[in-house]
Amino acid sequence: MFQLDFRDRRPLYEQIKERIKTLIISGVLKPDERIPSVRELAQSLTVNPNTIQKAYKDLETEGFIYSIRAKGSFVTPLDRSVQHPRREELLRELERNVAELMYLNEPMEHLIDLIHAIYEKGRYD
């Protein structure tokens, strides 16, 4: 599914969580698609199952996956009419980043162009 970077300073569970989020956002993992079990992913990445479990718990809390007892974990379909739990947090983070870029004299036009380019690309890398 993917590789971990053991030289990365981030904890392994965060790397796993971010990689799965990237696969979901980019459309590689489809809504309602089953993702590997904790045991399967732990074996393929050769990490402790508790590490995978923590990543999956965070992903579920953030609304990216859901679990069905004895069936596994699945990608949550995005219902655009429902407020996603991470939306407000991400908007606050964006506001802080834009404020910092303003302090660093980044032209507003460049930021707007960057946002347009991201939307045109239509996916997360």
pLDDT tens digits for range 5-45? 888 999 999 999 999 999 998 889 999 999 999 999 999 99
For residue 123, is pLDDT > 70? Answer: no
Cα separations in angstroms, 101 against 19, 40, 46, 110, 119: 26, 42, 40, 11, 20
CB distance 34 to 42 below 8 Å: no
Residue 28, Cα to own-chain centre: how many angstroms?
Answer: 12
Pick the CATH number of 12-75 from 3.40.50.2000, 2.30.30.230, 1.10.10.10, 3.40.50.920: 1.10.10.10
Confidence (pLDDT) at 125: 44
Backbone angles phi, psi at 24, to 5 degrees: -70, -50
How many Å apart are CA 33 and CA 5, to the nearest integer?
A: 26
Confidence of residue 68 (pLDDT cuts 50, 70, 90): very high
Q: Write the single-letter amino acid at 58.
A: D
